[in-house]
Every structure is written in structure tokens, then in C-alpha cells.
């Protein structure tokens, strides 16, 4: 069986639609639906036992309860999202706590340059610390003015809208601050370490393609 990266590398890219100007990244198709993509089963939680861990290059490792996070100042973000399987969705609305808001409670060591985002079930993804500093990077718990559904990552997911959506991990459980970059779940499986949709950083090797219909057979709502 071909890996996901190998399978999509072997197919052709769709003709790029210019009608959205610079807003739709190259090789993406717009969808009104909200596809549901993940590996493994949707986790079930006892929220009293749920925790969020911060560790690695910090002066002091910390554990937060869900209520600790809910008590932080909240932000609403309206943004476009772009999945490496070629769908983009415009004007999605999220509510949550900015990464920078959580950062105020932490003493991150100056050597920390990358973050490994740890998520259930056995998912992780690497993001440069710098890329988490934007005003639109959230630990999100609401989507379109409702509690974030479990299939889309509730009770808590990361939102990093300027990178391909696999970086926006669902069911997040912790941040590990790191000196050096390290690859996460999809990154070790052939996907790009950084993942900029506008320069099509889909794979770790350049000259590969992603079919336009990779996501059509998936679930969505
Ligand atoms: N925990 C976890 N988060 C994940 C994934 C996953 O498999 N597990 N898949 C990623 C991928 S590839 C995408 S495209 C988005 C999909 O989010 P959605 O199902 O809300 O559209 O979740 C990302 N976050
Ligand atoms: Mo994805």
C-alpha cells in the first residue's frame, strides 16, 4: 500500500483557478463544506481528568486544566483555512485563547525556537515558535459561534491559519518547546516541515503533485 504522501504525489494537480486572485493559494479548490480529516478515532475525554502540558525549553513545566484555559482572555478570529489535500475554506470563524496569551503565563527559555504540538490520538506536528506568535493563532474551542464539535477537534484544537491545516492539530494536549526542529506525524511521512500553502510547501521533496479529489471521499459537515 502506498503511503498518503506517495499516493497524492503520483496524481496531477488541478488547473489553478485565478478567480480568487491572491486569496486562494495555488492548486487549491474552494469548498463550502467542512471536511473531517484525521488519523485514528475521535478521543473521548473525562474533562475533569483532561490536562494540557507545557514542557521542554521552559524554566518551569506547567499543567493546565480546561478551566484554567477557559479563564484566559478570549479572541475571535475570522480566517481562511487551507488543507494540503487541496481544499480551502473561506471565512471560518473561531474563538479561543491566543497562543501569545498562554505564553504570558510561561517562562520560555530564549533558546526555544520550535514547538512540537502534542495531540490525541498519538498525533503531533512541529511549528516554528515565531509562527505561533500571530494574533490569529488560537487554542480554539468554538467554531462558527458554537462549541467546537469533537470531530473538528473539540474540546480544544490549535488554529494556525497561515500554514496547511495539518499544522492545526485537533485534540491538543500540550506544547513542547524545542531548541531544534523535529518532525511530527505527517512531517516524517513525507509532508513538508513548514507547510506554507501560498508557496505550495506540500511535501519534503519539491516536484510532487497532489490530486484535487483526495478529500472528496472523506466525511464532511
Ligand atoms: N489530532 C489530530 N489533529 C489533526 C489531524 C489528525 O490526524 N489528528 N489531521 C490534520 C489534518 S491533515 C487536517 S487537514 C485537519 C483537518 O481538520 P478538520 O477535520 O477539522 O477539517 O486536522 C489536522 N489535525
Ligand atoms: Mo490535511
Cis-peptide into 58, omega within 30 deg: no
36 lines ligand 1 (CB under 6 A): yes
Written as nine digits, the cell of 138 is: 488560537
Residue nearest to atom 7 of ligand 1 (CA): 38
pLDDT at 220: 84
Write the CB contacts of 73 (distance below 8 Å, at least 6 apart in sequence): 97, 98, 101
Q: Which residues pair with 176 in a beta bridge?
A: 55, 116
The three-state secondary structure class of 152 is helix
Q: Ligand 1 in contact with 83 (CB < 6 A)?
A: yes
Angstrom distance (rounded) from CA 172 to CA 155: 9
Q: What is the pLDDT along the chain (221 residues), one digit of tens a residue?
A: 677 787 766 655 555 556 788 899 999 999 999 999 999 999 999 999 999 999 999 999 999 999 999 999 999 999 999 999 999 999 999 999 999 999 999 999 999 999 999 999 999 999 999 999 999 999 999 999 999 999 999 999 999 999 999 999 999 999 999 999 999 999 999 999 999 999 999 999 755 566 666 666 678 87
Residue with cell 505550495: 200
Angle at 165 between CA 220 and CA 75, to 5 degrees: 95
Residue 59 CA, ligand 1 centroid: distance in Å: 31
**7 closest CA partner among 83, 82, 84, 81:** 84
CATH class held by domain 44-220: alpha beta
Task: Identify which of 13, 119, 111 has the alpha carbon closest to the alpha carbon of residue 59.
Answer: 111
Tell me if 197 CB under 6 Å of ligand 1. Answer: no
Residue 98 has a pLDDT of 99
- Whether 138 lines ligand 1, by a CB cut-off of 6 Å, is no
Laid out side by side, the sheet with 123-128 consists of 62-64, 52-56, 172-178, 114-119, 123-128
- The CA distances from residue 8 to 12, 45, 88, 210, 214, in Å, are 8, 33, 17, 5, 7
pLDDT for the residue numbered 1 = 62
Contacts of 53 (CB under 8 A, 6+ apart): 61, 62, 63, 64, 118, 173, 174, 175
Cα 35 from Cα 58, distance rounded (Å): 36
Report how far ligand 2's centroid is from the alpha carbon of 47 (Å). Answer: 27
Amino acid at each position: 500500500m502506498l503511503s498518503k504522501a506517495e499516493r497524492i504525489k503520483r496524481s496531477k494537480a488541478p488547473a489553478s483557478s485565478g478567480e480568487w486572485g491572491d486569496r486562494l493559494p495555488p492548486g487549491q479548490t474552494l469548498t463550502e463544506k467542512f471536511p473531517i480529516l484525521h488519523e485514528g478515532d475521535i478521543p473521548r475525554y473525562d474533562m475533569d481528568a483532561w490536562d494540557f502540558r507545557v514542557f521542554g525549553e521552559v524554566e518551569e513545566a506547567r499543567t493546565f486544566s480546561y478551566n484554567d484555559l477557559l479563564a484566559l482572555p478570549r479572541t475571535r478570529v475570522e480566517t481562511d483555512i487551507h488543507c494540503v489535500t487541496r481544499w480551502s475554506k473561506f471565512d471560518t470563524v473561531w474563538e479561543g485563547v491566543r497562543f501569545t496569551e498562554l505564553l504570558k503565563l510561561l517562562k520560555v527559555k530564549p533558546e526555544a525556537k520550535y514547538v512540537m504540538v502534542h495531540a490525541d490520538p498519538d498525533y503531533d506536528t512541529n511549528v516554528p515558535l515565531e509562527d505561533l506568535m500571530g494574533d490569529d493563532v488560537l487554542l480554539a474551542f468554538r467554531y462558527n459561534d458554537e462549541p467546537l464539535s469533537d470531530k473538528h477537534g473539540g474540546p480544544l484544537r490549535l488554529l494556525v491559519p497561515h500554514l496547511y491545516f495539518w499544522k492545526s492539530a485537533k485534540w491538543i494536549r500540550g506544547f513542547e518547546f524545542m531548541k531544534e526542529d523535529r518532525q511530527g506525524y505527517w512531517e516524517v511521512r513525507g509532508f513538508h516541515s513548514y507547510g506554507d500553502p501560498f508557496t505550495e510547501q506540500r511535501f519534503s521533496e519539491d516536484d510532487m503533485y497532489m490530486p484535487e479529489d483526495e478529500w472528496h471521499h472523506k466525511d464532511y459537515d
